């Protein structure tokens, strides 16, 4: 199954970014998890159909209204397991 790890930097903590990520993932049928990083960024691991993941990453590039995404890196890989649901950590 297709998977992607995304690290987002900018004004992404304290603006509802993680909750927004969960809503976006759920609406696209993507499972995984999201958490704050100590360096001020947010990290996301997502698993799902390739087209859904591409749309998900495109949404992450913009983020919610109050966020300001300044940098985004993505790493694509194959996953043997798909987590159930989308979890905020």
Residue 49 dihedral angles phi and psi, to the nearest 5°: -65, 145
22: annotated active-site residue: no
Say which DSSP state 12 is in.
-
For 39, the 3-state DSSP assignment is coil
Q: Which of 5, 36, 54, 55 is catalytic?
A: 36
How far apart, in whole angstroms, are the C-alpha atoms of residue 78 and residue 55?
Answer: 17
Q: Which of 18, 55, 65, 80 is catalytic?
A: 18
Q: Which residues are catalytic?
A: 18, 36
């Amino acid at each position: 199954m297709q998977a992607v790890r995304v690290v987002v930097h900018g004004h992404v903590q304290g603006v509802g970014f993680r909750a927004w990520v969960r809503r976006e993932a759920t609406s696209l049928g993507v499972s995984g998890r999201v958490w704050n990083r100590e360096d001020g960024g947010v990290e996301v691991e997502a698993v799902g159909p390739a087209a859904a993941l591409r749309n998900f990453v495109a949404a992450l590039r913009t983020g919610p209204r109050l966020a300001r995404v300044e940098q985004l890196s993505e790493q694509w890989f194959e996953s043997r397991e798909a987590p159930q649901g989308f979890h905020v950590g």
